[in-house]
Structure 1
Amino acid sequence: MADQPKQQNQQEPKQSVFTKALITGFTSGILWSGLATIAYYFNFTEVSPASFLFRSYLQTEWTGTWLADVLAILLVGVLSLVSAIIYYMLLKTKNGIWPGLVYGLVLWALIFLVLTPLFPAIPAFLELNSDTWVTTGCLFILYGVFIGYSISYEYREFNETAKSYSNEQGV
């Protein structure tokens, strides 16, 4: 057996769907919180990730700097792992854009309507302007669609590949 040549078509080991879901969660947290920070700097929204995570609890100068924004973006990436795990556990079998869209809206409502009292630096929902509602709502919808579509696609691809492999092997 040791004298047999290696196959030319050997593939790299496939990552599990769960691992890809975690990568998707972290990436989407970084991407969409980065865009939220840019929207904050251009005054499309009154809140930023740093407002939620740091300015609500720390009253120091550095929370208004770019360092706080970068740290907040990274922290949202880490927190987004939880969101990706929840989507993976509950909705990975759902196809299309709608499950992700609804998931993003539910997250937006949870954060802006239910959890707002936990963040003293964030005004109450009715005190925010309509630009903030629309901008953050759209960012959360895009976030949900990104996570939902990516995780569902990977899950479907993994299962189709496994099914075709078992059919080839005669299992």
Structure 2
Amino acid sequence: MKEDDPRLEQNKREKPVSQMGKVISTGFIGGVFWSFLAYVASILNYTEIKPSLILQPIALGDWKNGTLGEFISIVLIGVISIGVALVYFAVLKRFTSMWIGIAYGAALWGLVFFILNPMFPDLKMIFELPRGTIVTTVCIYILYGLFVGYSISFDYNELNTNNEN
């Protein structure tokens, strides 16, 4: 057998994942990971807000307030996070600064807690929430925005740098 035989495993190349595939997977993984961390924070009483908050506007059974509801909510947040990542990709992908991702996460927090607040009947107004809940949720949203934003921007700029060479 020849060393450069294309049938040999060591000579096969993996097809690269498309940039859109990376954005989608970054969004989903970021949403699942950070909402799971929010669930852990709620178990440890750092925050009153759980991921199942997203199921409140939907008339479902009492299961939505249990562990099953939390895990379904975590996956649902991951799916919604794909859209959030696609918005970041469409608008902010060319920025290389981590501060853009941090600002994006803070803007998402503001969107959920100020603008979308009336959608969630059990969510208190922001000024009625305990300070610990506010600080914890702001931090989680900022870290989520940083993760999604910097991952997408880094990948986009890395691909463009390689294409120019």
Distance 1:33 1:16 in 2: 26
The residue type equivalent to 1:48 in the other structure is K
With the length of structure 1 as denominator, give the TM-score of the two structures.
0.87
1:17 to 16, 19, 43: 19
Distance 1:71 1:59 in 2: 12
Q: C-alpha deviations, 1:19-49, integer Å up to 9, x for none?
A: 1011000000000000001111111111111
Q: C-alpha deviations, 1:46-90, integer Å up to 9, x for none?
A: 11110x222344363212211000000000000000100000000
Q: How does 1:5-154 map to 2 (within 5 A)?
A: 5-6=5-6, 11-50=13-52, 52-58=53-59, 60-154=61-155
* Identity score, percent: 38
The residue type equivalent to 1:113 in the other structure is F
Paired residues of 2:5 and 2:11 also in contact (CA < 8 A): no
Distance 1:9 1:141 in 2: 43
Shift of 1:13: 1.9
The residue type equivalent to 2:103 in the other structure is V
Distance 1:104 1:154 in 2: 19
Mean Cα displacement is larger for which, 52-61 or 89-98? 52-61
Cα RMSD for the two superposed structures:
1.7
Structure 1 gap ranges (5+): 165-171
Structure 2 gap ranges (5+): none
The residue type equivalent to 1:149 in the other structure is Y
The residue type equivalent to 2:88 in the other structure is Y
Paired residues of 1:24 and 1:151 also in contact (CA < 8 A): yes
With the length of structure 2 as denominator, give the TM-score of the two structures.
0.90
